[in-house]
A = this chain, B = another copy of it.
């Protein structure tokens, strides 16, 4: 689960021997696998190479370059593509990006920079790959759109901070299941929870606050004592809930809000 850093498998389409020499030296130093191509090749061949990055000198390919770029990026959606040219206008770069490129480098470029950008592109692709095919996550009234960094409750948008959003995302992804506290932390914060860290609690509280403000009468995040939390939209038990009955202008938090939550279904 924790590949220290991504292995880069790339192909370079270029014929500039000087540029290639410094580049490949840098690639070797990083232990990357690479291959040098002298021109466009059928996309199928690239697929067979199982690359995760591609560096192309577009000026080398002429007008065919755009076609090549388009073909490649549509056939290998997971491939990070870095264009490099002698010079370029913004219009060209934007066009390249629209056709699927991820970055654009102008020669001459320092090999360090090229490598850094390739690495960034691979990392970025890796991160955004699953996001792309996963549609919006729905759980009851709650909708989480990972691609937009936005969450909605009953069609109304929630204004969440980064951590709040990521926490909600993990919880909603595992809707109905109990997520262990440490697991939660690991997935949101990206590293192991230190002893005595209460961040999770604090953010659960914040999330609850915002969720309930937008749909009172519902409990979303349930506490499992000594274990973790479970996301599961459920109407709050009997008494008032929300339907007209209770005093409308009285969602006043202070005293009222600290009940329920713990349906404590722990085994």
Contact = CB atoms under 8 A, between A and B. Distances in A.
Contacts of A93: 62, 189-191
Given A97-B186, A104-B63, A159 B86 contact: no
Interface string A84-111: 0111111111111111111111000000
A205 interface: no
Interface string A134-160: 000000000000001110000001110
A227 interface: yes
A102 B216 contact: no
Interface string A244-266: 10001111111000000100011
A95 B252 contact: no
By size class, the interface of chain A is: 35 or more
Interface in A119-136: 120-121, 124, 127-129
Nearest to A130: B98
Task: Specify the main secondary structure of chain A where it touches its partner.
Answer: mixed
Contacts of A188: 94
B162 A97 contact: no
A120 B261 CA distance: 37
Interface string A198-217: 00000000000110011010
A94 to B, nearest CB: 5
A26 interface: no
Interface in A68-92: 70, 73-74, 77, 85-92
| The 3 residue pairs across chains A and B that have the minimum distance between CB atoms | A93-B190, A159-B265, A104-B191
Interface of A: 59, 62-63, 65-67, 70, 73-74, 77, 85-105, 117, 120-121, 124, 127-129, 148-150, 157-159, 161-162, 166, 177-178, 180, 186-192, 209-210, 213-214, 216, 224-228, 242, 244, 248-254, 261, 265-267
